Amino acid sequence: MLTSLDGYDPGDVIEDGLIDTDNLDQYFTIREIQPGDDVYQRIYGQSFVDNNDIALQDLRYLKMLHVNFDGCYQVGEMIVNAAVAQQVTEIFEALCENGYQIYSMYLIDDFWVGNGTDSDTNSIEYNNTSCFCYRAATGGSNISRHALGLAIDLNPQQNPYVSTGSDGSLHWSHENASDYVYDRSSSTPHVITESDYAYQLFTSYGWTWGGSWNNPRDYQHFQYG
């Protein structure tokens, strides 16, 4: 059996028989990002830029195991604020242990198209679960909680960002999410509701859910603080 994810890259699928399900914690690691290292070279000038809001030393790189939509173990990654790194690994370990399916977890830099906002849009088009990206909040000018590594978007295709117009009409940006805008039933696979295990886990750690907002509703979004 594997004792770590060393040698495996994000997106790699691992045979069930190689995973020690009694010791899943060994597949969830936290490390600092150092100037010049492999992660730094992927993110600098893209999801991370020099700024006055978040320093490199305040971020952590997580390598984690998750269950994909085919029910197989898959390697994922995420950058989060150092203050929540431990609890995020605990949350995702519990999700993995319970077979909670996540389509993919790559850094948003794998979907980079020139700026944070458009790259976030591109990541969502690929149904990618992600956290850190130094950018403005959707629909605003203030920095996003994602810019601080304190917000996670989970399975965004099935859990879209939806706003309500003055006439009561619903608006969303991603065509791949159309089947999940009006039918928010907990019986639909990968749809987050208040009875969903991810909702229960995140809120038990003090995170709030964008699906509880009045307008817009951001069903993919969990944030801390």
Give the residues of the chain that fall short of pLDDT 70.
138-141
pLDDT of residue 140: 62
Do 130 and 66 contact (CB within 8 A), yes or no?
no
The whole-angstrom separation of Cα 211 and Cα 214 is 8
**Token pair listed for 221:** 């979004």
**131: amino acid identity, one letter:** C
CA-based nearest residue to 161, from 142, 137, 185, 141: 137
Query: What is the pLDDT at residue 93?
Result: 98
Residues forming beta bridges with residue 152, ordered by sequence position: 222
pTM value?
0.95
Contacts of 131 (CB under 8 A, 6+ apart): 78, 79, 80, 88, 146, 149, 151, 152, 153
β-sheet bridge partners, residue 13: 74
Is the Cβ–Cβ distance between 135 and 52 less than 8 Å?
no
Residue 59: per-residue pLDDT: 98
Cα separation of 146 and 62, whole Å?
Answer: 15
The predicted pLDDT at position 185 comes to 84
